[in-house]
Structure 1
């Protein structure tokens, strides 16, 4: 049984290594391409005024990496002992690790507990909601779809978490603001990638989806392909719903931690025999 890892290239390769170390056969088939925004003026402006925010919410590890890439040593607000109220908020452990890699002090970082039932915007709000007082500004660092991206139609689902979070900030009397730190796009499917995807639709492989956009991009890259005989593991109920809507015959849900994903894959492996 192969695991098809659909995350962007860099993350996909790391997941392949981690899953392989657990005795699983894994292969990367990135279904999302990420890159910098063409105009970084808004990100630079956000860095210049970072101390004005009570918290900065990062929607993903890519949001962290591209946001910090645009920092020209303007305001190391999250690092050291600078007296500021600004905190870094992560939606899950991968985003939290990305912040720590950038030098964010652990005591300035908030994230859902690792044993939370979900690791998402809703779980994060349970942790940081009490920090938001009327009039407080909150910055949400996100990605955006490239012009012509195959995932444009999935904007509503893809942004559901961050929009839900922004609504909660407003209900608390706060002022949410967005800044786009990177762009997402659909991959160009070459013959090798196309052949792998078509094989994995019917050969018992298990697709690992951690984004609704990846599901949409797959359907767009292979129009007319039946997924009725394909199996998938999704790391969030919204992603699972997208996979079922795309036609996947078997869809399991798992929290996005390595031990739980490995356990889910091995159980699917056992039940297939």
Structure 2
């Protein structure tokens, strides 16, 4: 390995460790319209369309393999549960935004636990895990183009605190590689190792492969929240939930993560703090 490459890997690994750390929150809030928060490139819409086309072809590939419809990522469902989301009664004013505007309000929710990768895989394979949260009974302004009759809001979480798809160009590159080597994960891994951001691309696959119920979950990307800009996250509360962190072993069933979720919810309650 050349000295230049060693320096690149060392720098990237430092960034990854910072991203995976549980650093304390800081109160230097970033305004949503601060300079540098978002810079839209001239060809961004064109590349967004190309990414959509790549992901649609990946979905078609999965359908052809399994004769079932799957997403382009977070393909393997591990479990779906129903629950409630209760807004804290004493939220400070700057956090009273959107569905959190009314203190004490309760919403019905459905949560989907899943493996993040784009293909069905054995649970022995390391990789990031996800949690999709659908909130029901939501009213208010919608994004442009969304049916006004829709009364749900979706949040998408991942147990990797930061996203390795750092910009539009990286996303297009990685999605194109995933499509090209869809049926050959080993070849995909070899090509990812040739990238200058190789440590960042492999970081999510270094996460502990443990019972999903114990994971903290993050939005990865940051979003506007009222006047500010930040991440959202779910943190387990019950001690039994945090302690359910068994590691997946080679001789476990290929669907062991799903089995553990079913076992946990058979008599126990999961509870998360939703934080911004």
Q: Using structure 1 for the length normalisation, give the TM-score.
A: 0.22
Relative to the length of structure 2, the TM-score reads 0.22
